[in-house]
Amino acid sequence: MLLVIDCGNTNTVFAVYRGDEEEAPLGSWRTSTVATRTADEYAVWLTQLMALDGLDTKGIRSVIIATVVPATLFSLRTLCRKHFGIDPMVIGEAGVNLGIPVRIDRPEEVGADRVVNAVAAHRLYGGPLIIVDFGTATTFDVVDEDGGYAGGIIAPGINLSLDALYMAAAQLPKIAIRAPEQRPGDNQPVRVIGKNTRAAMYSGIFWGYVAMIEGLVARIRAEYGRPMRVIGTGGLSALFAEWTSALEIVDDDLTLAGLRMIHRSNSS
């Protein structure tokens, strides 16, 4: 079995596949990213969750890791070596070939998840294209026709924006993102003018991000000068795809797919 680990700024996802060509995981589990979590803590947590799904850690034969939090790598690597007897493949390290050119000024600075997404999106959907990833940050990544990573945009994530409003403005309440009460296709016009503080905040965050998505996608396309497909990924991509045609395809498993592809190409 292949263990895939995608460590983001907010959450870390562990997924087990029968092989690197499998599309559906045998099991997947999510935990908060904590830089101080030890390898033994990961092992106890993961072993118990795998057992609940009828999986044995002894069946793991290979591991691939992508992390954007460098402080977590030591514990994740130790988890693999100590508890699985495996030296993991790590995105960004020497000897791991991504299979695509990275065409930015400092390739070593690009987040592991962004180049992994580029690998998966190009192989699955072709190019050129734009990947909009709704994570801790909201990122827009440009992939050339030949699969090369061409750069992108980093904006504050939705939850970061909500937290900033709550912490910086004394009279504003803490809220969570939600869709408008109307549904797409309703005959009534969509309302953006809030009649109270909470409604105004809901509208500002939701429609503000819709406007950002549509505006930045339009600007990227104009600058690139060619038609480009747009792929949405991340937990909130499906929510926003209901309300804007700018997101043409939603693929929440893009990073996991990219990691499996990179593992397969490097293993062979």
State the binding site.
6-13, 111-114, 133, 136, 197
Phi-psi region of 191 (alpha: psi -120 to 50; beta: other; left: phi over 0): beta
Residues 6 or more apart in contact with residue 232 via CB below 8 angstroms: 131, 132, 133, 134, 238, 240, 241, 247, 249, 250, 251
Binding residues for ATP: 6-13, 136
Binding residues for K(+): 133
Q: Pick from 91, 90, 96: which is nearest to 114 by CA?
A: 91
Q: CA 245 → CA 153, 206, 217, 250, distances in Å?
A: 20, 15, 11, 11
CA distance 257 to 255: 5
Question: Which one from 56, 87, 105, 113 is the annotated catalytic residue?
Answer: 113
Binding residues for substrate: 111-114, 197
**Any catalytic annotation for residue 113?**
yes
Q: Pick from 254, 242, 43, 54: which is nearest to 135 by CA?
A: 254
List, by residue number, the catalytic residues.
113
